[in-house]
Amino acid sequence: MAEKGVAQLWRKIKAIYTIQGDHCTTCDTYYFPPRVVCPQCRRKGQLEKYTFKGLGKIHTFAIVRQAPDTFKRQIPYIVAQVELDEGARLTAQIVNCDIEDVHIDMRVRSCFRKITEYGESGIIIYGYKFEPTMKVTGHE
Amino acid sequence: MGKKVAIIGVGMSKFGELWDKSLAEISLEAGMYAIFDAQVRGKDIDGLIIGNMSAGRFTGQEHLGAQAADWGGLGNLPAYSVEAACASGGAAVRQAYMAILSGEHDIMLVLGTEKMSDVNQSMAMETISVASDWEWEGMFGATFPALYAFMARRHMMEYGTTEEQMSMVTVKNHKNAVHNPWAQFQRPVPLEVVMNSGLLADPIRVLHSSPISDGAAGLVMCSVERAKEFTDTPVYIESSRQAGDTLALHDRADICTMGAVVSSSRSALKETGLAIKDIDVFELHDSFTISEIIITEDIGIVKKGEGGKAIEEGLTEIDGKFPVNASGGLKARGHPIGATGVAQIVELALQLRGDAEKRQVDGVEKAMSVNIGGTGATSIVHILGR
């Protein structure tokens, strides 16, 4: 038996460290998280690994003010649905942004952050969060 | 068309934080009241189905079917639980409906139960979020209220729904619960208090959210042919329909509508040959007040985007044209997750029998419940008649 969360995290490190999902060449749809089968084409689908560019915009968001212990240290924080430029949507925290400034359609880019940790001696989960794009980095 | 399966007995435990009672005790309480109400004998019952979401996480106990049958002295009958997150109760009713309709079972006891207050708030919040796509939503910090805040914020942007309208749903449901002896909150709450209550996940406040609750509800169901042996006032399930949607909210093109509610309610109305205006009373799943607004639109009481206006104009008040949640709903009756879907049917049965006392809606002939799981990944609709 693995320690709590170890195997569960380890097996999807590629997906959550690099935003790797799938592209179905049959229907030209991008999927995140990675799929076992294309839900539209099913057996006719052809899934290829695809690493998302990590750019998108905020579809909707919430300011979390009450959270379980695993996120208590971070409140208040912004969590959002980000619509990636390739079309897939995912749920992630928005960082480097004041809670007053976040808005729907805001352009964001991915960044690599600590998500949470399982208690004092538990494992630390890393993965994607998103931050506002900046002109200086050329991400618009 | 017409009567499919009969409900001959209903029972409830009190809903609330019941620190002095165990999961088995509240389940048995609801079950025994239902059996007394039906005037059947324990040995007449040939099957037991329990709706429950997460007893294993909330209390450490699973295998609830065996537990309830054993503690209830029901002998060696087939007994098991079914799970569909917050729609577990509705799923249990639907399982029994299908089992009786198929002829496999004769008289069944259906329970819905959840004991949520045995864990602390952090654990309760974590357990509730397993109803969503935990690995891809909850693990990234999206609490369950945050997911409904996602819907609320889009609904506000696209249709101009206001915080005040979301708060008015709370006021209405609390007002109704004053007359529900099983409700967790049998007291009114003023609009200003709702609008100034603490924020859970903007724009959703504590008083826009159903509470952490313990509670159980029970039904005795049997075939239409046998119903009159036991009671003069059976009520009948005329349709039981279920539909699904993506588990994760972010996979839906439009998060202001619950596709599973649209299709399951349309298909139930079609099966019964009824139109929405023919339904006299509704129990709709208001785990958050925005979901009552969205479901009001999705079942066709009003057009998409007009759910906020509907509450403002009093359309869904107990004396309105479409009374919604005369029981107080999940907001004020309480939301012991697995019990809710069964408690909705208990309320509608009482309304149809004319036994709902001070919260009775006049002349109820047809009634509808909508019980959803997660953020709408499961929707179970029942239409009942007399």
List pLDDT tens digits, range B251-269.
999 999 999 999 999 999 9
Determine the distance in angstroms separating the CA of B136 from the nearest CA of chain A, rounded to an integer. Answer: 7
Chain B CB contacts of A114 under 8 Å are: none
Closest CA to B79 of B99, B49, B106, B51: B49
Banded pLDDT at A140 (limits 50, 70, 90):
low
DSSP per-residue string spanning B10-48? EEEPPPB--TT--HHHHHHHHHHHHHHHHT--GGG--EE
Q: How far is CA B79 from CA A109, B113, B264, in A?
A: 51, 14, 27
Interface of B with A (CB under 8 A): 122-123, 125-126, 129, 135-137, 139-143, 145-147, 149-151, 153-154, 157, 198-204, 248-251, 255
Looking at the DSSP assignment, which residues form a beta bridge with residue A24?
A29, A47
Residue range B1-17: average pLDDT?
A: 95
Which residue out of B137, B140, B254 would a mutagenesis test of the A interface target, given it has the greatest number of A Cβ atoms within 10 Å? B140
Q: Which token pair is B270?
A: 């079609």
Q: Which token pair is B245?
A: 């949607």
- Nearest beta carbon to residue A65 from set B139, B200, B250: B200
Looking at the DSSP assignment, which residues form a beta bridge with residue B163?
none
| pLDDT confidence of residue B166 | 98
The answer to whether B327 touches B244, Cβ cutoff 8 Å, is: no
- Nearest beta carbon to residue B251 from set A70, A89, A115: A89
* pLDDT above 90 for A5: no
Distance CA(A34)–CA(A15), nearest Å, equals: 7
Chain A CB contacts of B251 under 8 Å are: 89
Distance CA(B371)–CA(B383), nearest Å, equals: 12
Residue range B340-358: average pLDDT?
A: 98
User: Quick one: B17 exposed, middle or buried, by C-beta within 10 A (0-12, 13-18, 19+)?
Assistant: middle
Chain B CB contacts of A36 under 8 Å are: none
Distance CA(B260)–CA(B131), nearest Å, equals: 16
pLDDT tens per residue across span B68-122:
999 999 999 999 999 999 999 999 999 999 999 999 999 999 999 999 999 999 9
Chain B CB contacts of A72 under 8 Å are: 122
| pLDDT confidence of residue A135 | 64
DSSP per-residue string spanning B293-328? HHHHHHTTSS-TT-HHHHHHTTTTSTTSSS-B-TT-
Longest CA–CA span in chain B (Å) reads 56
Determine the distance in angstroms separating the CA of B246 from the nearest CA of chain A, rounded to an integer. Answer: 10
- The packing angle between helices B259-272 and B289-298, to 10°, is 50
Closest CA to A29 of A89, A88, A91: A88
Distance CA(B341)–CA(B378), nearest Å, equals: 12
Q: How many CB atoms lie within 10 A of CB A81?
A: 27
* pLDDT above 80 for A1: no
Alpha helical stretches, state H, chain B: 23-38, 55-58, 64-71, 88-101, 121-128, 144-159, 163-177, 191-195, 227-230, 259-272, 289-298, 307-312, 329-333, 337-353
Phi then psi for residue A81, to 5 deg, are: -95, 120
| pLDDT confidence of residue B171 | 98
Query: Cβ separation of B139 and A77 shorter than 8 Å?
Result: no
Query: Cβ separation of A93 and B141 shorter than 8 Å?
Result: yes
Distance CA(B198)–CA(B362), nearest Å, equals: 37
Query: Cβ separation of A90 and B249 shorter than 8 Å?
Result: no
CA atoms within 13 A on the CB side of B97: 24
Query: Cβ separation of A91 and B157 shorter than 8 Å?
Result: no
Residue type, B21: K
- The mean of the pLDDT values for chain B is 97
| pLDDT confidence of residue A121 | 81
Residue listed under structure tokens 């008040």 = B317
- CATH architecture observed for domain A6-19+53-137: Beta Barrel (2.40)
Phi then psi for residue B307, to 5 deg, are: -65, -35
Query: Cβ separation of B202 and A71 shorter than 8 Å?
Result: no
Residues of chain B with CATH 3.40.47.10: 5-120+212-235, 131-209+237-385
Determine the distance in angstroms separating the CA of B57 from the nearest CA of chain A, rounded to an integer. Answer: 15
* pLDDT above 80 for B25: yes
- Nearest beta carbon to residue B140 from set A59, A62, A92: A92
A and B: number of Cβ contacts within 8 A: 98
The answer to whether B9 touches B355, Cβ cutoff 8 Å, is: no
- Nearest beta carbon to residue A63 from set B139, B201, B255: B201
* pLDDT above 80 for A11: yes
Query: Cβ separation of A67 and B141 shorter than 8 Å?
Result: yes
Banded pLDDT at A118 (limits 50, 70, 90):
confident
Q: How far is CA B261 from CA B175, B245, B264, B378, in A?
A: 26, 9, 5, 8
Residue range A125-131: average pLDDT?
A: 97
Q: Cβ neighbours of residue B123 under 8 Å, at least 6 residues apart? A: A68, B57
- Nearest beta carbon to residue B250 from set A77, A90, A125: A90
Handedness of CA B186, B321, B357, B274 (dihedral sign): negative
Cα B165-B210-B203 angle, rounded to 5 deg:
45
Distance CA(A45)–CA(B215), nearest Å, equals: 46
Distance CA(B283)–CA(B281), nearest Å, equals: 7
Chain A CB contacts of B136 under 8 Å are: 33, 90-91
Chosen CATH of B131-209+237-385 out of 3.30.450.40, 3.40.47.10, 1.10.1740.10, 3.20.10.10? 3.40.47.10
- CATH architecture observed for domain B5-120+212-235: 3-Layer(aba) Sandwich (3.40)
Closest CA to B274 of B304, B299, B245, B307: B299
Query: Cβ separation of B202 and A62 shorter than 8 Å?
Result: yes
| pLDDT confidence of residue A119 | 78
- Nearest beta carbon to residue A79 from set B141, B203, B248: B141
Which residue out of A35, A60, A82, A94 would a mutagenesis test of the B interface target, given it has the greatest number of B Cβ atoms within 10 Å? A60
| pLDDT confidence of residue A30 | 98
Q: How many CB atoms lie within 10 A of CB A103?
A: 10
Determine the distance in angstroms separating the CA of B249 from the nearest CA of chain A, rounded to an integer. Answer: 9
- List, by residue number, the catalytic residues of B: 86, 335
Residue type, A57: K
- Tell me the percentage of chain B whose pLDDT exceeds 90: 99
